[in-house]
Amino acid sequence: MELAARNRYLQLAFNSGSSEVARLLPRIPRDPRILVEAGTPYIKREGQRAISVIRTLWGGYVVADLKTMDGAAEEVAEAAEAGANGATVLGSAPAETLNLFISSCEKEGMDAFIDMIGVEDPLRVLMRLRKPPRVVVLHRGRDEETSRDKIIKYAHIKRVRSKFDVLISAAGGIDLRQAQSASFNGANIVTVNIVQPDDPFEGISSDDQIEKLAVDFLNGID
């Protein structure tokens, strides 16, 4: 499954567990512009099973949010075995890890996503690499959502694209208005968390009409 630069994608991230995935995922429209993510908390809780459960229920693109920091080849192989089409590595990882992660993804027929959470200058990270990833993720972390001065810096999009032919993903505290802003500023992928009703984080509540909201987000970023 190939991501096209001309398209705008909605990435829905599941972070709680397989029971939530089994309840909600069948309700999500089968649209090729929707990517489904096994979020980091979900993978930490259930391991490879988190990815394989989504793969079983979703015939489209699956992202494994591994946030790899070391052991790149092993983690990519496990994600591929579980059925992922793409996986994430942290931009703060050593250059050796980033290069191995990208080459391992290429070997497995997967897309490499470099998550720039906590990285001040994504372009500097990319300049160290033998080859670029398929996707660069501009990410404001969950904990950073509590600080008003922590925002997704869309100015990085033009800087990165001036040097590299990559897709850009925006993630972290995204609601419908912010999704539209991300798309307007050039993001190819907008990541939205599926959150619990009592969570303090932005996203789509698991109690909401997820079918309608997914369509609203797709229309908003188109």
Tokens of 196: 């619990």
Q: What is the 3-state secondary structure (H, E, C) of 155-182?
A: HHHHHHHCCCCCEEEEECCCCHHHHHHH
First to last CA, the chain: 20
Burial of 19 per CB tally in 10 Å (0-12, 13-18, 19+): exposed
Residue the block writes with tokens 């369509």: 215
Q: Which helix (H) or strand (E) holds 115?
A: strand 111-115
In the CATH scheme, what is the code of domain 9-221?
A: 3.20.20.70
* Average pLDDT score over residue span 13-37: 95
Whole-structure pTM value: 0.94
**Cα–Cα distances in Å, from 87 out to 17, 50, 137, 196?**
18, 13, 11, 24
**How much is the mean pLDDT over the chain?**
91
Q: What percent of the chain has pLDDT over 90?
A: 73
Confidence of residue 146 (pLDDT cuts 50, 70, 90): low
Inter-residue contact 6 to 33 (CB < 8 Å): no
- DSSP states of 78-99: HHHHHT-SEEEEETTS-HHHHH
Closest by Cα among 9, 10, 25 to 206: 25
**Residue, of 172 and 37, whose pLDDT is higher:** 37
Closest by Cα among 52, 59, 60, 53 to 20: 53
pLDDT tens, 50-83? Answer: 999 999 999 999 999 999 999 999 999 999 999 9
Residue the block writes with tokens 């906590």: 118
Inter-residue contact 172 to 182 (CB < 8 Å): no
